[in-house]
Amino acid sequence: MLNKKARVYFSCFMLILGTLIGFLLSKWSEIGSLGWREPDVITLTVRMPENGSLPSRMIYGKPDIAKAPRRDVMVLSPWLAPIVWAGTFNRDLLMEEFQHKKYRIGLTVTAIGKYVKLLKKFLESTERYFMKGGMVTYYVFTDRPDKVKALSLEVNRPLKIITVPKYPTWGHVVLGRMEILKNQSEVLFQQEVDYVVSLDVDMVLFSHIGVEILGELVSVIHPGYYHSPRKDLPYERRPASQAFIPEDEGDFYYQANFFVGTVQRIYQLATACYEGIVKDKANDIQAVVYEESHFNKYLVYNKPTKLLSPEYIWMNNLWRLKDIRIKRIVHGEKKF
Ligand code: UDP
Ligand code: MN
């Protein structure tokens, strides 16, 4: 009799335990991934309309000092530069500051030779996603101004075509870009813009890119190397080149196809790279990744004040890793 009762209790206990385990298992993926699945918009921002004499104001949740914006990735470099990832910022708050100061942004893009054909698609995407609500001027560096005009580009922001030399090879173009940036920073940008943004023309924007990218000197961590150890980063390691970085130095590997800065910082960066390139040429050496090697060298000793995560230059041939929540730009698909 007692045994029968015990069996009933045991069965009930097992049933409850089984239900409990089943429930926990069904929730496991959610519980296990909570660390990297916070919503992108952390705070809901509401703008209160102007009310009589009171100015309009923003209402948003108080930042919680105990709550890290992301726990799966580094959001602050060892030299205290923020690293921008989805989920780490509130664009409305940044816009408030931006509109207050009325910054002027120059978006520069090089389209030399057949690369002119990529300009239309590039600009269609920047019109849609680049710096909405910002004061943007496009600067197109090209050897074929007539071909650019013939594209009948429909853009709602001013577009300036700057004629540059017809550099004979791909290598001359990418190295020459630093020379162009240096020259234009001296003569044009310092009068016309506050921030310069330099992008490759073989890019298509897929998500909004806004004021979160602005800073004194901003570079993007290369999506192909962001989990790589230092020894695997493709820095120039030959001491004979001006782009040389010793084996035991270097922070991240940055891509030279997207960088941002104030006119003065861009001028300094471009000048340093240009001078390194000229010296290398005189010494008959070519840095391993062309201007990008000089760019990386500069940034080891002149640390960026802000870093953009690899979300900002994703490539379709890379695996989508769990720390990449958003593809903001896809780069490198060239259809001429
Ligand atoms: N570029 C150009 N004409 C050329 C070669 C390059 O206008 O003949 C410009 C263009 O803006 C291009 C950038 O230089 O996006 C870098 O070249 P590319 O995109 O081919 O380099 P990758 O991204 O493949 O390293
Ligand atoms: Mn490119």
| pTM of the predicted protein model | 0.86
H/E element, 59: strand 57-59
Q: Is 173 in the pocket of ligand 1 (CB under 6 A)?
A: yes
Is a pLDDT exceeding 80 seen at residue 114?
yes
Is residue 23 in a domain? no
Which single residue is written with the structure tokens 């700057």? 162
Which of the residues 179, 236, 292, 311 is marked catalytic?
292
CATH number of the domain to which 231 belongs: 3.90.550.10
Sorting pLDDT into bands at 50, 70 and 90, what band is 314? confident
Is residue 27 in a domain? no
**Residue 222, marked binder:** yes
Residue 29 has a pLDDT of: 38
Which of 119, 147, 201 maximizes ligand 1 atoms within 8 Å of its Cβ, making it the mutation to test the pocket?
201
Q: What percent of the chain has pLDDT over 70?
A: 90
pLDDT single digits (tens) 206-259: 899 999 999 999 999 999 999 999 999 999 999 999 999 999 999 999 999 999
**Residue 115, marked binder:** yes
Q: Is 112 in the pocket of ligand 1 (CB under 6 A)?
A: yes
Is residue 19 in a domain? no
| Domain count of the fold of the chain | 1
Is a pLDDT exceeding 50 seen at residue 37?
no
- Domain with 230 in it: 78-331
Residue 26 has a pLDDT of: 54
Is residue 242 in a domain? yes
Nearest alpha-carbon partner for 40 in 65, 69, 60, 61:
69
H/E element, 296: helix 290-301
Is residue 53 in a domain? no
Is residue 16 in a domain? no
102: left (phi over 0), alpha (psi -120 to 50) or beta: left
Residue 237 has a pLDDT of: 98
